[in-house]
Amino acid sequence: MEEETKTSRRSFLSLATWAIGGLISAGMGIPAIAYIIGPALKRAEAEEWIRLGSVAKVELNAPTLFKVKIERQTGWIVNETDLSFYVLTENGRDFVAMSNICTHLGCRVRWIADQEQFFCPCHNAAFSKDGSVAAGPPPRPLDRYQVKVEDEQLYVLGG
């Protein structure tokens, strides 16, 4: 009888030691994993309305370039990034905002007024005035942004 209680006490303590050890390891290990993968799981910062400038600057029937600086944070470092948008209007009321980044490999496109086309210098791609592909390798038209006008100021939704 006594023999039996001895062994059960021993095995109980052994089990308790493993259980507490496991608990502590889990208490350390799970936060450690969360800590390591945390930044990878963070979504890119939510899109926000970026002010481009006065609507009066947009020329009729010709894509107008707007350049803005926005702040982007990676980790603890804040960088200023330059963003450019081409804004097109046909009637002065409805606006289309397009990215100036070629959908092929990310070079910057430029509006050539003489030819009425956007031109990408990297692989001679061309986009027509509304951003659709006119020539070359791009797989899709220029990206568009949602636009709003408030107090005669033009905003695009991006980030």
Partner 1 sequence: MSTRLGNWLDERVAWRQVWSAIFLRQVPKTNWLYTLGSASLFLAINQIVTGILLTIYYVPTPDHAYDSVQYITTQVTMGWLIRGLHHWGASAMVVVVGLHMLRVIFHGAYKFPREVTWFTGVFLLLIVIAFGFSGYLLPWDQKAYWATTVGTSIAGTPPLIGDVVLRIVRGGEELSAITLARFFGVHVWVLPITLLILIGVHLYLVIRIGISAVPKREE
The residues binding partner 1 (CB under 8 A) are 28, 31-32, 34-39, 41, 75-77
How far apart are alpha carbons 52 and 18 in whole angstroms?
63
For residue 111, the minimal CB distance to partner 1 (Å) is 40
Our CB check for partner 1 shows the closer of 32 and 70 to be 32
For residue 32, the minimal CB distance to partner 1 (Å) is 6
Q: What is the dihedral of CA 21, 25, 28, 31, to 10 degrees?
A: -140
Our CB check for partner 1 shows the closer of 20 and 65 to be 20
Our CB check for partner 1 shows the closer of 38 and 121 to be 38
For residue 36, the minimal CB distance to partner 1 (Å) is 7
For residue 30, the minimal CB distance to partner 1 (Å) is 9
Among the listed residues 98, 109, 97, the one whose alpha carbon sits nearest the alpha carbon of residue 137 = 109
Among the listed residues 153, 115, 152, 150, the one whose alpha carbon sits nearest the alpha carbon of residue 135 = 115
How far apart are alpha carbons 115 and 132 in whole angstroms?
15
Our CB check for partner 1 shows the closer of 39 and 139 to be 39
Task: Judge contact between 99 and 85, C-beta under 8 A.
Answer: yes
